[in-house]
Amino acid sequence: MSTPRIPDELRRAVAADLKPVRPLPAPWVRAAEVGVWAAAALLLVPALFGVRDDAAALGLLMTWGAGIAEVAAGLLVVAVAMAEGIPGGGLSPLRRGLALLGGVAVQVGVAVLTWMRAPAGGDAAAHGGASCFAMQGMLGLPALALAVWLLVRALPVRPRWAGALAGLGAGLVADGVWHLACPVCDLGHVLVWHGGATVAMTLAGFLLGALWERRRLSRLR
């Protein structure tokens, strides 16, 4: 069998850009880059806003423990998104769905456990839902931007899925951090405003993935 000849156009394109490249780090290593932001936020938010007023009643486990667990779950979902950036390296639809549902379950679980521990709730008037939504957005957007930047440096073959997972991960990181500062345990407040912020972040990731895909489509010959 004869050796296939490389078309001239392809040979020129490859030769023009043959600089050595380093393979991307493993997905969990790239997710750890988002973890740097999460760690900084975990230190800064309590320092700037103070730890929630009901921290003593909730205990260390339901304050710091739950917040850090949610951040860890968020980083795990970001790692799943990073795996989607490797062609042939993503998860099956079932596992992707489980990652999405698992992330949602962690946030709902933390909300319910916190509410059960302190059912009286905090001062909801002083911490209106919209301000929590905005704070979580501010905490989550840098994580989302970083995760999406890391994603598009790879080649996600299902960019909308990858974006949604990155958005959910960023949303969970933000909720885990803000859990340390928001003193409201009321389930309605947490599910609507905190959960809403995570949903918004997931949708933002999905849309960014769709935009990136659209851009790739328009560039295709």
Positions that interact with other proteins (CB under 8 A): 1, 3-4, 6-7, 9-10, 13-15, 17-24, 26, 85-90, 92-95, 154-155, 157-158, 216-217, 220-221
Note whether 116 and 66 are within 8 A (CB). Answer: no
Pair 172, 71: CB distance under 8 Å: yes
Contact 75, 38 (CB under 8 A): yes
Rounded CA-CA distance 190/188 in Å is 6
**In terms of residues, how long is the chain?**
221
Residue 66: half-sphere exposure toward Cβ, Cα within 13 Å: 26
CB of 198 to other proteins, least distance (A): 25
Nearer to other proteins, 57 or 155 (CB): 155
168 close to 52: Cβ distance less than 8 angstroms: no
Residue 20 CB, nearest approach to other proteins (Å): 4
Closer residue to other proteins (CB): 90 or 140: 90
Q: Which is nearer to other proteins, 26 or 207 (CB)?
A: 26
Nearer to other proteins, 115 or 161 (CB): 161
CB of 153 to other proteins, least distance (A): 8
Q: Minimum distance between the CB of residue 50 and other proteins, rounded to whole angstroms?
A: 43
Tokens of 121: 């709730």
